[in-house]
Structure formats: structure tokens, C-alpha cells
Amino acid sequence: MSPEGLAFAPVLLPLLGAAIVFLAKAFFRGRGAVIVEYTGVFTGLYLPWLALIFLFPVVINGSAVTGVIGHWNSGVGISYRFDGLAWMVNVLGYTLGGAAWLHSLSSGPKGPSFSAIFLIQTAALGATIMTADLFNLFVSLEVLGISSYILVSSSEKPGAALASFSYLMVSSTAMVFFLLGLFGLYRITGSLSYEGIAAGLGHLDGNALATAVISLSLLVGAIAIRVAVMPLYGWLPDAHALAPHAVSAVLSGVLIKTPLFALSRILILFPIGKEAGQLMSYAGAATALLAVIIALSQKDVKRLLAYHSISQIGYIVCTWGAAVAVGIGTKAGTLLMAAAFLHALFHAVFKGLLFLSIGSSVDAAGERDVYKLRGAVSILKRSGDKAAIAFFGFLVGALSISAIPPFNGFTSKTAMTYLLKYYGQYGSVLYWILTIAGAGTAASFIKLSRIYWPDKEKISTVFPERTDSGPVLPGVIAIIFLSVLCILGGIFTPLIFKTVTALLSGKSLTMGDGYSFFSTGNLLKSLYTAGAGALVFLLATGNAGSALLKKVRERPRSFQGLFVSYALAAAAMAGWLLYHAAP
């Protein structure tokens, strides 16, 4: 098969799978329906790996599969670009998607409608990252959005429908401004493809330049909402906390990062894109720190995890922005971008693992309050998870996110902070902000781990029997799979890092001559951070600490506030860019 046909496989196979699942729903009953449904899921979630394997040699040397869909003239058709970045994001999506769907067999929701929409979401991820056309990016983001609203609302939890609705409102509002930005760029360049826009931007006069800058800030603002960068994060905690566990894992692990990496394709078109990246980088650092404070204050276990997703995406945005700011094509840019992607990949694995293992535990217990639930290990054993695999999964995930060696979070966080300090603007400030956020993360996971502590004080409520009688095995397999990936990812980081840089730039780079992730300095730093985390945990459980955190937890939140912050953020971005664009 031609590389072009293969490049579309990660988008088309899940769609084909979804079509097969719809057939199962419409034509079959009972056992037959299940067999056809699983065939569809296999086609959509696992078969694309074959295409990705065949595509690897095509993209590894930095080349890409490009063209116009349907072979039309590039001025009017839709351009696409399947390169190393697209390949990597697909790997991210299919790794987590496959594991999460498997877990959904245990934890629900079940049924062909769920599987079909899950597949469509996966397809939209592939489409978002490989498009090279602004309007097509809009369509991809819409498909991505609508499938996630539906998936969030498919949960049985009270409030899920409302969370999904608020997610929908916020996203749709953002997409209106995305469309306005798109219009602005089309208005002055007459083109929708990235190549055409870049060519059109080459010869503009002052007036049109302002339009271009404002359009760009509208696009960036809209994507920043999807990525949940501060201050545009308000929709995420509810949506991610109330969604079914498998969906939470994918939303946190993959969905919030894909638009970010797609955005880097747009930013490199603009001479002013570097400045936009710089501002995003600062916002990312602020996000990492603020979100971890809010996370520390949470009661609900999944809400706590959701705020950690915001915090971790802050790390990624910070590094990613620094990469854009120094120029993606340069060596420093490649290294920073590789570190950002490394953390995106590792975060997907360990956060997915955390959502799935915590999800299994709280389902077994029927209680989600971190202050009320204790002794979850014995509850897990009673519920059918005889070896308490979910507990060990949580342990691996928590150690990873807290950057304890040799787990994967340690190496990716080390890479990000080291490179930021070395290459980033105000790098040492960013380094310290991220390090402090790291201590907060450790504190927060010490707090979360209390749900597994033995129930000495007998504060646990009486737990209901497991009502959802899904088989335990698929969930356990998913958890083991992701746990193994966490450990392997940490150990093989140098190799993975090299591959990522090769996929990004065509040349494999290392962190620096003689640099070792597991050097004494890095190990000691990890120890200090964990120690600081324990200290923060003790402070937070004290009287003054818990009073403060209660205030943080109960701060007012509203859709209106979110809209105000969107307006502020878009205006700030436009002002910042206009200031830097001024001759």
C-alpha cells in the first residue's frame, strides 16, 4: 500500500471500526452483536498499530507524507502532513486508547454506542494531528469535542450531564473565536492550508499584519481552552472527574495534549509565533504551580487527579512554549520539544494508570472522598481483584507522577527542568517554579495514598456490594500493561529521547555529552523534592493548612468567570503579540 494510504489508516481504521460497531448495534442481537462489536473495536483500536509500524521507517529520518486530499489543487483542497510528530501523537493515543477501552470492559460504560463514539474520538485525534489545513483543524476539533461531550455524559454519575454541558458550552464558545481567527487569516491570505497561509503572510502591510496577529491570538486562545492552560481551565475538573474512568484516562492523557501539538504546526508559520510560545510558556509554569495547589485542596479523588492533569499539562506547555520560543527547527528547540513530548507521553501513561487504578478502587469501595475512604486494599481484594493489582498500579503511577526514580515521570521531569534552565528565557525561574510544583505533586499523592492505608480509625463508611458486575480481568490487564510501560519508559528514557528527537528533526540528539538521567545530582534532587513534598503534606494537614486549602477548594467558580478569563487571556495574548510585532 502507498504511504499516503497508510498515513490515513490511523484516522480511517477507527472510523471503519465505528461503522462495524454501528452495524453490530443495528443488525445483531446477543452473542453475535458482541462478536461483531469486538471485531470493530479490534479494527479500530489495535489494527492501526500495524500501519504505525509500517509508517515508522517513513518518518524516522525526518521526512513526511504530505499532499492534498483527493489530489486537488493545493489552493482549494485540504492539505495534510503525516510526519514524526503525527506518528508520535498517534502512538500516544493508541497506547492509552487501547488500555482504556480494555478497562471499560470492567468499569463500564458498556455497549456499542460507547465503543463507537470512543473509536470516533480516537479517529479525531489522528485527524487533528495530521491536518495541515486550518478549517480541517476546526472540523477535527469539533469531532474530537462532540465525541468527548457524549462520552463524559455517558457516565451514570449524577452531575455528569451538567459537566458535559458546561464542557460543551465552553468549548463551543472557544470554537466561535477560533472560527473568527480562521476567518481573519483567510481574509488576508486567501488560503486555508498552512503552506498557503505562510506564503500569504510573507507580503503584508501594517494594517493586515495587525489582523494576522489578532487572528493568531484568537486561535491560540481557543486552543488554550482545549488544553486547559491557566486561567482557562475551569471546565476540565468537572468533566474529567465525572466521566467514566476509561474516558477520564483518555481525556487527561491524550485529548488535552493533541491540540497543543497541533498548534505548534500553526505557530511556526508566523514570525511572531515565537513570542506567542514565550507567553504560553510562562502561562504553563503558572498553571503547573497553581493547579497543584488546588489539587492539594481537593476532596474527591478523581477531581484531585483532574487538577493534577492541569498541573502536568502546565509542565508540558511550559517546555513546549520554550521550544517554540527558541525556534522548533533549532537544536535547542528540538531538545525542548522532545522533552515536552516525552512528558506528554509519560504523563499519558501514568495518569491513565492513575485514573484506571483509582477508578477501580473507588468503584469497589463506592466512596470517592479522600478523607472518608480508608483500607481500599482490603476492599479491592474483596471485590475480586485478589492481588490488589489496582493498588500496585496506583503505587507505580503515584511514584511516577511524583518523579521518583526509576519511574518514567522522574526522567521526563528531569529532562524538562534541565533543558528549561539551560535554554529557556528566565529558565532558572521556570526551573524553580516547576520544582516547587513537583514538591506539591508529591504532597498531593501522599494525601491520595491515604485511601489505601489500613482503616485503623474506622472512619470508612459501610461499603455497598459491587453493583457493576463487569469482569475484573480486563481492567487488571490494562493496569498491569500501563504499569509495565511506566517502568520501561523510565529505564529506556535515553533511547526513547533519542528516537523522539530523530522523529522531530531527522537527527537523533542526546541531552548533552555525558549527561545521565540517573546521576547523583538528579537522584538527590528527586530525594529533596520528595522530602519537601512530605513537609508540604504535613503542613497541609495542619490546622492552618487545612483552613487555607478549604478556602481554595470552596472558591467560587462559574461559566461567566470562565468567559471573563477567556476575554482577558485573548486580550492579553493580542496585546503581547501586538507589542512585540510593532516595528
Interface positions, 550-579, toward another protein (CB under 8 A): 558, 560-561, 563-564, 566-568, 570-571, 574
Closest to another protein by CB, 318 or 574: 574
Q: Minimum distance from CB of 466 to another protein (Å)? A: 22
- Nearest distance, CB of residue 26 and another protein, angstroms: 4
CB nearer to another protein: pick between 80 and 320: 80
Q: Which of 101, 149, 320, 355 binds another protein (CB under 8 A)?
A: 149
Angle at 297 between CA 428 and CA 375, to 5 degrees: 115
Residue 138: CB minimum distance to another protein, A? 9
Q: Rounded to the nearest whole angstrom, what is the least distance from the CB of residue 69 to another protein in the complex?
A: 5
Q: Does 38 bind another protein (CB under 8 A)?
A: no
Q: Does 54 bind another protein (CB under 8 A)?
A: no
Question: Within 492-511, which residues bind another protein (CB under 8 A)?
Answer: none
CB atoms within 10 A of CB 274: 18
Find all residues with CB under 8 Å of 254, minimum gap 6, and list them: 92, 93, 96, 97, 125, 348
52 touching another protein, by CB under 8 A: no
Q: In whole angstroms, give the CA distance from residue 57 to residue 223.
A: 31
Sign of CA dihedral 334, 337, 342, 345: negative
Residue 78 near another protein by CB under 8 A: yes
Q: Is 457 helix (H, G, I), strand (E, B) or coil?
A: coil
Rank residues 509 and 572 by Cβ distance to another protein and give the closer one.
572
Centroid of chain to Cα 383:
30
By C-beta, is 12 or 534 nearer to another protein? 12
Pick the stretch among 57-65, 140-148, 301-309, 515-523 that binds another protein (CB under 8 A).
140-148
Grid coordinates 529533596 are at which residue?
Answer: 528
Q: Does 139 help bind another protein (rule: CB under 8 A)?
A: yes
Q: Choose among 166, 247, 213, 233: nearest CA to 201.
A: 213
In angstroms, the CA 568 to CA 573 distance is: 8
Under rule CB under 8 A, residue 28 binds another protein: no
Q: Does 70 bind another protein (CB under 8 A)?
A: yes
Distance CA 362, CA 379 (A): 9
Q: Kindly tell me which of 25 and 413 has the beta carbon lying closer to another protein.
A: 25
Task: Give CA separation, 4 vs 46, 65, 128, 254, 533, in Å.
Answer: 20, 6, 17, 24, 49
**In the complex, least distance from residue 127 CB atom to another protein, rounded to whole angstroms:** 7
- For the CB of residue 353, give the shortest distance to another protein in the complex, in Å: 28
Min CB(538)–another protein separation in Å = 38
Among 150, 243, 291, 356, the residue binding another protein under the rule CB under 8 A is 150
Minimal distance in Å, beta carbon 91 to another protein?
Answer: 21
Least CB distance from residue 283 to another protein, whole Å?
17
Q: Which of 66-74, 331-339, 397-405, 528-536 is the region at the interface with another protein (rule: CB under 8 A)?
A: 66-74
CB neighbours of residue 120 within 10 Å: 22
**Which residue type sits at 497?**
F
Q: Is 48 in the site for another protein (CB under 8 A)?
A: no
Scanning residues 156 to 215, which ones bind another protein (CB under 8 A)? 161, 177, 180-181, 183-184, 187-191, 200, 204-205, 207-208, 210-211, 214-215
How many residues touch another protein under the rule CB under 8 A: the total is: 78
CB 196, min distance to another protein, A: 9
Grid cell at residue 199: 506564503
Q: Does 2 bind another protein (CB under 8 A)?
A: yes
When the beta carbons of 123 and 229 are compared against another protein, the nearer one is: 123
Give residues 286-315 in contact with another protein (rule: CB under 8 A): none
Return the sign of the alpha-carbon dihedral for residues 20, 23, 27, 33: positive
Of residues 216-235, those binding another protein (CB under 8 A): 217-218
User: Can you tell me the distance from the alpha carbon of 132 to that of 262, in angstroms, rounded to the nearest whole number?
Assistant: 9
DSSP letters, 509-574, are --SSTT--TT-HHHHHHHHHHHHHHHHHHHHHHSHHHHHHHHHHHT----HHHHHHHHHHHHHHHH
Q: Which helix (H) or strand (E) is 68 found in, with range?
A: strand 65-68
CA distance 305 to 570: 28
x/- letters, 93..132, toward another protein (CB under 8 A): --------------------x--xx--x--xx--x-----
C-alpha cell at 10: 490511523
Q: Are 245 and 301 in contact (CB under 8 A)?
A: no
Locus of grid cell 521526563: 412
In angstroms, what is the C-alpha Rg of the chain? 23
Contact set for another protein, span 374-413 (CB under 8 A) = none
Question: Quick one: cell of 412?
Answer: 521526563
